[in-house]
């Protein structure tokens, strides 16, 4: 599948938080990568959805802000982490990382997000590429979005 930008996209949690805040990083993400304005909707991992809603509750966003978050999340194509293709991609990424001795470098949620990207052939957009540097780029393409200073 391709989008107006030539690729299927899946944002990491930090990307969506910046888009919700529309801070300088959020504006830069939208200007450069147009994640919310693509012809083909980006993919939303159910894990990212949960993390975004957890951040909102933890940061005590009010009802209006939580509704805005849910509205943004609904604009993506949601994939449940438990789908068989995603589970298989999880197993593949986990075993590959163990074989090369990098299995202690990732957090489980990041592995589920990467597995979702792997399962659908999406490019993973993040503001924290070190969370995903354990992945062989042949498995998942990761775009590190630099934050404006």
The domain ranges of the chain are 9-143
Tokens of 132: 């995903």
pTM of the model: 0.89
pLDDT in tens, 29-86: 998 988 887 878 899 999 999 999 999 999 999 999 999 999 999 999 999 999 999 9
Class for domain 9-143, per CATH?
alpha beta
- Contacts of residue 106, defined as CB under 8 A and 6 or more positions apart, other chains included, come to 97, 114, 131, 132, 134
């Amino acid at each position: 599948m391709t989008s107006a930008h030539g690729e299927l996209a899946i944002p990491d949690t930090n990307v969506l938080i910046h888009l919700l805040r529309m801070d300088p990083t959020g504006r830069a993400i939208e200007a450069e990568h147009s994640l919310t304005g693509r012809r083909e909707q980006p993919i939303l991992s159910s894990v990212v959805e949960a993390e975004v809603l957890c951040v909102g509750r933890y940061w005590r966003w009010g009802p209006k802000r939580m509704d805005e978050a849910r509205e943004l999340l609904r604009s993506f194509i949601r994939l449940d982490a438990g789908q068989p293709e995603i589970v298989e991609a999880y197993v593949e990424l986990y075993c590959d990382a163990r074989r090369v001795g990098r299995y202690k470098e990732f957090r489980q949620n990041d592995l589920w997000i990467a597995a979702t990207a792997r399962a659908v052939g999406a490019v993973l957009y993040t503001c924290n590429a070190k969370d995903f540097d354990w992945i062989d780029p042949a498995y998942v393409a990761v775009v590190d979005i630099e934050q404006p200073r």
